[in-house]
Amino acid sequence: MSTDVDSEGEFETSSGGFDTDSLTGVGLEWTHRTESLFHAVLFGASVLGVVVLAVLIVDVILDALTGLAIGLDPVTFLTQHYSNDSSQAGFLGAIVGSVLLLFFTFLFSFFLGVGTAVYLEEYAPNTRVTRLIEANLTNLAGVPSVVYGLLALGVFVNGLRMGPILLAGSIALALLVVPIVIVASQEALRSVPDGMRNGSLATGATRWQTVRGVVLPSAMPGIVTGTILALARAIGETAPLLMVGTVWGLRHTPGPFDRFGAMTTQIYQWAFLPETELNFLAAMGIAVLLAILLGMYGVAFLVRNKYERSY
C-alpha cells in the first residue's frame, strides 16, 4: 500500500498497482523449513549438555543413596574424620580443609585481582605493554590447573620451604583463580558507563575518589559474582592440590600451617580404591561438594539479580 497526498493535503490510500500477492509468502516455504531445522538442531545441542549433566548428577545421587541403604551413616560421614573402616569413615577434615582453602584463596586472590583490574581499566595508559598484559591475562585464565600446582610446588613448597601445608595449597589455587578474577572484574568495570566517571570527575572528584565512590560500587555486584564463580572453580580442583601434596586419608582437622586434604582429594582417594563401599563414600562426598557448589552458584545468582541494574 502506498500513501498519496492530494492537493488539499488530505491523505488517501490506494493500492497504486502494488501486487498484494507478493505478501502471501509463496516461495518462502523452503526458507522457513530450513529455519525450523536449524532451530531444532541448535535446541538439541543446548539440551544435550543439560541431559549429560543431569545423568551424572542422578548417577552420583543414586550411588550416595545406595551408600545410605547399606548402612553408611550421614551424620558419621559429616562429623568424623577419615577411617580405614568404611562404616566409621567421615568427611569432616576434608570439608574443613576445603573451606579453609577457599577462605585463603579468596584472601590472596580477591584484592590482588580487583586491584589489578582497577589499575588496568582505570589507570593504565593504553599502550602496547598494557595490551600485552591484558592479552596474557586471558591466556593465563586458560592454563591447565596442574601447571599452577607445579608452580606452587616449585616456588612455595620447595623453594621457600613452606612444605606441603594448607597455605601452600591455597596459594596454588589463588594463582589459578587470580586471572579469572581479574578478567571478570575488568568486565564489570567496563560495564560501568563512562557517564558515571565523567559525572564524578566533573563534580570535582579525583580519579581515586571516582573509582572508590562511584565506579567500584557500581561494578561490585559483577566483581562479586565473578569472584564467587572463580572460587567455585577452585573448590572443585584436585590436580593442583595433589601437586602441592595432600594427606592420603585425612585424620585431623587441618589448620593453615598443617598438612591438609580437601573434599576433592578425599573423593579422589575413595573413588580410586577398589572397595565398592568406598566408592559409595566417594559418591556421598561428591553430593556434599555439589551441594556446596550449588550454594555458591545460588549466592552468585542472587547477587546478580538483586544488584544488577540498568543505567
Partner 1 sequence: MAQTDSLITTDVSVTDRERTSRPDETVVRADGLEVHYGEERALTDVDIDIPERKVTAIIGPSGCGKSTFLRCVNRMNDQIDTCRIDGDLSFHGKNVYDDDVDPVALRRKIGMVFQKPNPFPKSIRDNVAYGLRVQGKTDDVDARVRQALEGAALWEEVEGQLDSSGLDLSGGQQQRLCIARAIAPDPEVLLMDEPTSALDPVAAAKIEDLIADLAREYTVIIVTHNMQQAARISDKTAVFLTGGELVEFDDTATIFEDPDDQRVEDYITGRFG
Using CB under 8 A, which residues numbered 213 to 232 contact partner 1? 213-214, 217-218
Closest contact distance (angstroms) between CB of 305 and partner 1 is 16
Please say which residue, 87 or 198, places its beta carbon nearer to partner 1: 198
Nearer to partner 1, 9 or 125 (CB): 125
Q: Give the shortest CB-217-to-partner 1 separation in angstroms.
A: 7
Q: Are 263 and 94 in contact (CB under 8 A)?
A: yes
Distances (CA, A) of 66 to 33, 52, 70, 182: 48, 21, 6, 42
Q: Which stretch binds partner 1 (CB under 8 A): 47-55, 160-168, 200-208, 242-250?
A: 200-208
User: Please, which residues bridge with residue 12 across strands?
Assistant: 4
- Per CB under 8 A, 206 contacts partner 1: yes
Q: Is 200 in the site for partner 1 (CB under 8 A)?
A: yes
Q: Which stretch binds partner 1 (CB under 8 A): 38-46, 132-140, 195-203, 267-275?
A: 195-203
Residue (57 or 124) nearer to partner 1, CB:
124
CA 143 to CA 148: how far, in whole Å? 8
Give the one residue of 144, 154, 159, 199 binding partner 1; rule: CB under 8 A. 199
Phi and psi at residue 264, in whole multiples of 5°?
-65, -45
Q: Which lies closer to partner 1 via its Cβ, residue 203 or residue 276?
A: 203
Q: What is the 3-state secondary structure (H, E, C) of 157-175?
A: HHHCCCCCEHHHHHHHHHH
User: In whole angstroms, what is the distance from residue 22 CA to residue 19 CA?
Assistant: 6
Least Å distance between CB 218 and partner 1? 6
Is 115 a binder of partner 1 (CB under 8 A)?
no
3-state secondary structure 265-284: HHHHHHHHCCCHHHHHHHHH
# residues contacting partner 1 (CB under 8 A) = 22
Pick the closest to residue 262 from 101, 94, 96 (CA basis): 94
* Rg of the chain, C-alpha, whole Å: 28
Which residue number, 206 or 305, has a Cβ lying nearer to partner 1? 206
Of the pair 161, 309, the CB lying nearest partner 1 is at: 309
Which residue of 92, 162, 196, 299 would you call a contact of partner 1, by CB under 8 A? 196
Nearest residue to 179 (alpha-carbon basis) of 134, 129, 123: 134
203 binds partner 1 (CB under 8 A): yes
Handedness of CA 22, 26, 30, 31 (dihedral sign): positive
Q: Which three cell numbers stand for residue 113?
A: 585481582
Q: Which residue lies nearer to partner 1 by CB, 105 or 210?
A: 210
**Residue 184 CB, nearest distance to partner 1 (Å)?**
19
Min separation Cβ 205 and partner 1, Å: 4
Confirm or reject binding of residue 306 to partner 1 (CB under 8 A).
no
Contact between residue 293 and residue 236 where contact means Cβ atoms under 8 Å apart: yes
29 burial type by CB count under 10 A (0-12 exposed, 13-18 middle, 19+ buried): exposed
Q: Stretches 95-103, 159-167, 194-202, 280-288: which one binds partner 1 (CB under 8 A)?
A: 194-202
- Looking at residue 153, the DSSP 8-state letter turns out to be I
Q: Is 195 exposed, middle or buried (0-12, 13-18, 19+ CB in 10 A)?
A: exposed
Binding site for partner 1 (CB under 8 A): 125-126, 193, 195-206, 209, 213-214, 217-218, 309, 311
